[in-house]
Structure 1
Amino acid sequence: MQKQDRKAGFKSLSEMEFDVLIFGGGATGAGAALDASLRGLKTALIEKSDFASGTSSRSTKLIHGGVRYLAQFHFKLIHEALTERQRLLENAPHLVKPLPFVLPTYKFYEKTYYSIGMTMYDILAWKGRLPAHKRVSKEEVLKDFPALKREHLAGGIVYYDSQFNDSRLNVLLARSARKEGAVVLNRTELVSFQKKNGKIVGAKIKDLLSGQTIDVKSKVVINATGPWVDDIRLKDDPRTYRVLSPSQGIHLVFKKETIPCNTALIIPKTKDGRVVFMIPWENHVILGTTDTPVHEISEDPLPLESEVEFLLQTGSDYLEKPLERKDILSVYAGIRPLISPEGNQDTKSISREEVILVSPSGLVTMGGGKWSTYRKMSEDLIDRVVQEGNLAPNFGCNTYHYEFPGKEGFSEELHSEIRKTYKTSPETAKRLQDAYGGEVFTVLGKKPSLLVPGSGYYKEEVEWFVAEEFALTVTDVIARRFRVQFLDLKLSEKLISPIAQVLSKRLSWKESERKKQEESAFLLVHNLSGSIREKGKK
């Protein structure tokens, strides 16, 4: 979004009365903005930082039913998630892909035991089109996941779930909401609520770039701020109680050569009490996640030493070659916004189902849930908002078959077309194919220029992020548009200055702003690098 477009969008906020004003541009907020817009409701979406800058970009990159919920008998949650999985496979095939998993077995009874559970998983996904699970031999397991430890391995189970690019889907939700008529702005924060007779009728918001504040009128206000839902609730009522039980999860990232694999792996039993995954993603391998209760919430959370050690040890227990700190290319941490009105602090036992709370002032808060069910969560949320605000939408929910930008023109043959057109490596062509789908040639044009020779990342992509995808900072690009910060911290450092040069030109930065942006991005990468060094080493 260019500067003039942003200015016009901000001005329009004060000139309209909205049906729905949404704070929080993660999966829940952006999904709700799209749903509301498609119903014909006048909608505004406000994000303090960047879309997906919080939890929504720091997931395990899975759209899945949640195998671990089988043991907890959460069959309704699993069925709902598996139904949504199929919808996303159809609506965004460039972003959401089938992914086979290996579940290794080491005792003679485990294959039968796990197979019973996976049969239930298949039944709950009965409308889906992914293959059913199957029992496999030791040789087949090692063919799928060569890095696996061979000692005592008896065989395993192969089943299917799906993988996706979380922050790109989040950005496309915000972009689609804007396309369907919503006013969409990031780097804009809530200052205070406006009330009449004790009921919220709008809010004062501040543009964090210009410092300008304006008043926005709205019939209903939604709090979808994830880990910050309690902060917003306290702005509404300083006497209210806290409902958030935040939990941190981290992921370590490795080269695929470090963990050779052709499928994903699920480790069903850990000391942490959660399952742990090893997942091929963007030509790398992700190992995660942890579940650590936290008391302080940061916009850029860093992994705890104990979490890094836990994942290294857990991964090494299942791999032929143990993992070492020097093998880690990157790390990312996210905060789960788990809602527990009863005050339960055992985060592993709190249900991942969404919770909707309505305050006496009419503020509608949604927390909990997960990426896999974001669409259904958004539908439930807007249904409740229509009821609470006595709104009259023009249409019912229309997100069931909504086709995301990039689906049109997407095909498996696109990979070879990209390689031929731009003379790229297979890895770069795959990244471009999966990121942009049928829009790839619009994004890159005829003769794109690499930001850094051999990097596989292009100047034209950055220009597209500014023009169409709300990017306003260097970290917006390296972390949430390119995902490089999540994959390779050393490459991130090389890209920071070239990206800043493009942004500086497109956003008319002064030299001081460009240097400030570079310093901020370098500092974040440095802090992440420091969090994975061995203790005592600088």
Structure 2
Amino acid sequence: MSADALSPEYRNEAMDRLRATTKPGNELDILIVGGGVVGAGAALDAVTRGLKVGMVEARDWASGTSSRSSKLIHGGLRYLEMLDFALVQEALKERGLLLQRIAPHLVKPVAFLYPLTKRFIERPYVGAGIFLYDTMGMTSGNSRGVPMQKHLTRKQTLRMAPSLKDDAMVGAIRYYDGQVDDARYVATMARTAAHYGAAVANRLAVVDFLREGERVVGARVRDQETGDEFDIAASQVVNATGVWTDETQAMVTDRGQLKVRASKGVHLVVPKDRIQSTVGMILRTEKSVLFVIPWGRHWIIGTTDTDWNLDKAHPAATSADIDYILEHVNLVLKTPLTREDVEGVYAGLRPLLAGENDSTAKLSREHVVAHPVPGLVVVAGGKWTTYRVMAKDAVDEAARALDEKVPESCTSTIPLLGAVGYKAAWNRRHRTADEYGVHVARVEHLLNRYGSMAYDVLDLIKSDQSLAEPLPGADDYLRAEVVYATTHEGARHVEDVLARRTRISIETWDRGVSAAPVAAELMAPLLNWDPARVESEVAHYLARVEAERLSQEQPDDKSADSARLAAEDITPRI
């Protein structure tokens, strides 16, 4: 085991280890390309089998699809309706593992109402489906980790969700799934992989693959912070780049490629007081389903499901996307939501395996692992919830080509950092609050973000009381969390902190504009930034926010994409 923190010093050491792989006999067993949930999962899977592992990510951990999901860990009720029992069973098994063993500090049960709109016929039909959903969760080999369904009358439904129109339903069924802060989960998993010995580095982009004849034997990478390029040698390379799968495959071969189509999903964030309800909701639309998801002091409402063929790094939500979501959620609300109620908007891309069907809503969420050329394994498709299975299957495929026998995957038994001791820490949270002189609500907030590692953040506050102050415009987050993100979680830029280590960019009315200068000043001494660099970091973040706001006023994808790309990514500054 090595690092407990993804510090700036750790990143330098990891790159030195990756550079050293070109020495004879020093190559990696497996190099993972892509630092999303599947890539980080594969790095953890491989390193805990005893393999020599590296992982590189062109931007930031989870900066693509993996930080822009619906933030649900779920079996997928609609896949049950499609009779895809195997996918649902697999996902429910993973839900139980994540809730109870792997990451109980990051994955929590969340309750939903399924409103019933037709008398007599709908309740037995939907009830049977949700009963099957619950039963499959119990027979998956793990405890479900969530309560069973409950049938509700209209009166009981309105008691739980007073904001629903009286005529919006004849009753409802309450059921449970899981919820996760997706970006935090991926950063924690990357850190856990480093803890077990993997060399992981973000802002390190693959520019080409190394070849010996037909065989892939590693990758050439560019440090996005400095422009330096170097080679990484590996016996096997796993391509886990999600919606970028086609582009990364094309560097190697045009034969036997997996084809991935990107489907855009847009979500809105509104304050908790705009919808009076103690539970979330799942609503049917003509195209898919719409979730109203509890999210701290907010609601997340989404999603859309439309083809996207433009910039993959920064998918843009349009005015039409926002109107679509508001229109559909307002069908059931007594007090309609308006544009003025929306404090945050985000768009993500699902990596769907391409098929003959023209509708992205009907493409498969199954995953596929392929070995298109010797030395290169490609994993694509799948759901966020089943990342661990995807990672296991990809490493299994790579391991088959290694010379020595490789142990079986053990990630079903490996808790992420912060999970061990979390429940005990939660039980003593009132004492912890007294000991550190902070409100118990702050302690709970930290425990639900860092688990038992929350004490590390509290120790920062103990050393410097100014770090106990909240960030401007973002009362939920403390200055200490910016410092911790930089020293322990691999944050390299203000955007990394405000968009992913915290969720300030989607949870605050100004989308982090007032927090950005303070975050930059806190990060500066830790990353050796001079005043010009601090100014540049803040200017970049403000330009990003402005471009996103402008894109959300555009009528179509093309004009929204053009508006969003007016703000350049921070990495091409070199």
- Cα 1:516–1:449 change in 2 (3 A) is same
Which residue number in structure 2 is paired with residue 396 of structure 1? 408
- Of 507-516 and 429-438, more deviation after overlay is shown by 429-438
Question: Does residue 1:351 correspond to 2:364, yes or no?
Answer: yes
Question: Does residue 1:6 correspond to 2:11, yes or no?
Answer: yes
SS at 2:91 equivalent? helix
Q: Which digits, 9 at most, give the CA deviation of each residue in 1:438-462, with x for residues without a partner?
A: 1112112124332536724222222
- Of 126-135 and 276-285, more deviation after overlay is shown by 126-135
Deviation at 1:424, TM superposition (A): 5.2
Which residue number in structure 2 is paired with residue 368 of structure 1? 381
Which residue number in structure 1 is paired with residue 108 of structure 2? 97
Question: Does residue 1:305 correspond to 2:319, yes or no?
Answer: yes
Deviation at 1:530, TM superposition (A): 3.1
Identity value in percent: 35
Question: Does residue 1:379 correspond to 2:392, yes or no?
Answer: yes
- Of 171-180 and 357-366, more deviation after overlay is shown by 357-366
Deviation at 1:482, TM superposition (A): 0.8
Q: Which digits, 9 at most, give the CA deviation of each residue in 1:274-301, with x for residues without a partner?
A: 1110011121000001101011133122
1:6-45 residue pairs with structure 2 within 5 A? 6-16=11-21, 17-45=27-55
Which residue number in structure 2 is paired with residue 329 of structure 1? 343
The letter of the residue matching 1:57 is: S
Deviation at 1:327, TM superposition (A): 0.4
Kept in 1: contact 2:369–2:380 (CA 8 A): yes
Return the match for 1:66 from 76, 79, 100.
76
Kept in 2: contact 1:338–1:350 (CA 8 A): yes
Q: Which digits, 9 at most, give the CA deviation of each residue in 1:160-203, with x for residues without a partner?
A: 11111111110111001001110000000111111112111111
Q: Which digits, 9 at most, give the CA deviation of each residue in 1:62-87, with x for residues without a partner?
A: 10000111110010000000000000
Question: Does residue 1:164 correspond to 2:180, yes or no?
Answer: yes
Which residue number in structure 1 is paired with residue 570 of structure 2? none
Kept in 1: contact 2:316–2:347 (CA 8 A): yes
Kept in 2: contact 1:375–1:399 (CA 8 A): yes
Which residue number in structure 2 is paired with residue 288 of structure 1? 302
- Cα 1:242–1:523 change in 2 (3 A) is farther
Kept in 1: contact 2:235–2:375 (CA 8 A): no
SS at 1:49 equivalent? coil
Kept in 1: contact 2:258–2:353 (CA 8 A): no
Q: Which digits, 9 at most, give the CA deviation of each residue in 1:373-423, with x for residues without a partner?
A: 111111111111111344532x32111121122223323435534554556
Question: Does residue 1:208 correspond to 2:228, yes or no?
Answer: no
Kept in 2: contact 1:233–1:240 (CA 8 A): no
TM-score by length of 2: 0.89
Partners in 1 of 2:268 and 2:255 — Cα distance? 40
Kept in 1: contact 2:33–2:239 (CA 8 A): yes
The letter of the residue matching 2:208 is: S
Return the match for 2:500 from 451, 458, 480.
480
Q: Which digits, 9 at most, give the CA deviation of each residue in 1:342-393, with x for residues without a partner?
A: 4543211111111112213432111111111111111111111111344532
The letter of the residue matching 2:548 is: L
SS at 1:364 equivalent? strand
Kept in 2: contact 1:31–1:378 (CA 8 A): yes
TM-score by length of 1: 0.94
Which residue number in structure 2 is paired with residue 517 of structure 1? 537
- Cα 1:490–1:425 change in 2 (3 A) is farther
Which residue number in structure 1 is paired with residue 98 of structure 2? 88
Partners in 2 of 1:266 and 1:319 — Cα distance? 13
- Cα 1:227–1:352 change in 2 (3 A) is same
Kept in 1: contact 2:256–2:372 (CA 8 A): no
Partners in 2 of 1:314 and 1:428 — Cα distance? 35
Deviation at 1:144, TM superposition (A): 2.0
Q: How many residues align?
A: 532
5+ unaligned residues in a row in structure 1: which ranges?
none
The letter of the residue matching 1:8 is: E
Kept in 2: contact 1:243–1:339 (CA 8 A): yes
Deviation at 1:474, TM superposition (A): 0.4
Partners in 2 of 1:115 and 1:239 — Cα distance? 47
SS at 1:99 equivalent? strand
Question: Does residue 1:247 correspond to 2:300, yes or no?
Answer: no
- Cα 1:428–1:522 change in 2 (3 A) is farther
- Cα 1:410–1:319 change in 2 (3 A) is same
RMSD of aligned C-alpha atoms?
A: 2.0
Deviation at 1:147, TM superposition (A): 1.6
Deviation at 1:244, TM superposition (A): 1.4
Question: Does residue 1:449 correspond to 2:468, yes or no?
Answer: yes
Partners in 1 of 2:516 and 2:428 — Cα distance? 29
SS at 2:152 equivalent? strand
Partners in 2 of 1:487 and 1:200 — Cα distance? 43
The letter of the residue matching 2:157 is: V
- Cα 1:84–1:151 change in 2 (3 A) is same
- Of 112-121 and 415-424, more deviation after overlay is shown by 415-424
Deviation at 1:2, TM superposition (A): 3.6
- Cα 1:3–1:126 change in 2 (3 A) is closer
The letter of the residue matching 1:289 is: T
Which residue number in structure 2 is paired with residue 499 of structure 1? 519
Partners in 2 of 1:413 and 1:13 — Cα distance? 42
Which residue number in structure 2 is paired with residue 123 of structure 1? 135
